[in-house]
Amino acid sequence: MEKIGEIRARFASCEIQDMENLIALYQKDARFGVQAEVQKAQKKLEALEKEKQRTWQMKAYERQYEAFGYLCGIDEVGRGPLAGPVVACAVILPKDCQILYLNDSKQLSAGKREELYEVILANAVSVGVGMVGPERIDEINILQATYEAMRQAVGKLSVTPAVLLNDAVTIPGISIRQVPIIKGDAKSVSIAAASIVAKVTRDRLMVQYDGIYPEYGFASHKGYGSAVHIEALKKYGPTPIHRRSFIGNFI
């Protein structure tokens, strides 16, 4: 008879698509340790099925507009920080996209965002990223800078989408049909993918800035107005990446 440790190792190394067969193989083994592994495997499958259903629901807008052609999700990150750029991303996913766990980037751990970032770039039809820095933000205001970053992102796509699925906004200066969706990064897989790529792109950049300006802690707060950041701003003054129009109350 197989030892429980050997069976446990089989479950640990089993690919999810083969899990049902493994469960069936050991379903009638009455040993407590084996049944514990069977139950854990069943919970994994149940969680996977739940995630598939959630993802299917997040494709409602994609199903609604897919007949028009390529759909592009658009989102931004970095409207609120005191420092760094605002970053926008445009993502066109394939119609048969099977990526799971896409969600509003704020609902995901940093590790999960990094993982999904690579999956999105590997599977997307096209990805465009736009970025507008602090000087331009101060010049035209953050809303207009956000629109500018979004137009940049759309302009960098390798194919022209038929419909833009936007997180809440309508972007001026774009002739493509737009569908603004309130809290779209939690309702559309395309917008969720864009939010993840935008977030990872900006976070990586702020980590680089941390190496240039280590006194400010950019790697941890990413330029947002944390107590540590404000204290450093008062002590050392602004850097070239600070938004002068945002920091008047602190210097």
Per-residue pLDDT of the chain (251 residues; tens, 9 = 90+): 788 888 888 888 888 878 888 888 888 888 888 888 888 889 888 888 999 999 999 999 999 999 999 999 999 999 999 999 999 999 999 998 999 999 999 999 999 999 999 999 999 999 999 999 999 999 999 999 999 999 999 999 999 999 999 999 999 999 999 999 999 999 999 999 999 999 999 999 999 999 999 999 999 999 999 999 999 999 999 999 999 999 998 88
Pick from 42, 57, 72: which residue ends a domain?
Answer: 57
Same domain membership, residue 226 and residue 115:
yes
Same domain membership, residue 38 and residue 86:
no
Q: Answer for the pair 175, 160: CB distance below 8 angstroms, yes or no.
A: no
Same domain membership, residue 184 and residue 78:
yes
- Residue-level pLDDT at 171: 98
Same domain membership, residue 153 and residue 114:
yes
- Residue-level pLDDT at 114: 98
Domain boundaries, position 43: 4-57
Same domain membership, residue 36 and residue 14:
yes
Same domain membership, residue 131 and residue 101:
yes
Same domain membership, residue 70 and residue 194:
yes
How many residues comprise the chain?
Answer: 251
Same domain membership, residue 109 and residue 43:
no
Same domain membership, residue 117 and residue 100:
yes
- Residue-level pLDDT at 233: 96
DSSP letters spanning 82-129? SBS-EEEEEEE--TT----S---GGGS-HHHHHHHHHHHHHH-SEEEE
The CATH number of the domain where 80 resides is what? 3.30.420.10
- Residue-level pLDDT at 64: 97
Residue 205 has, within 13 A of its CA and on its CB side, a CA count of: 19
Same domain membership, residue 214 and residue 99:
yes
Q: pLDDT digits over 107-163, tens only? A: 999 999 999 999 999 999 999 999 999 999 999 999 999 999 999 999 999 999 999
Same domain membership, residue 188 and residue 79:
yes
Asked if the structure places residue 245 within a domain, the reply is no
- Residue-level pLDDT at 48: 87
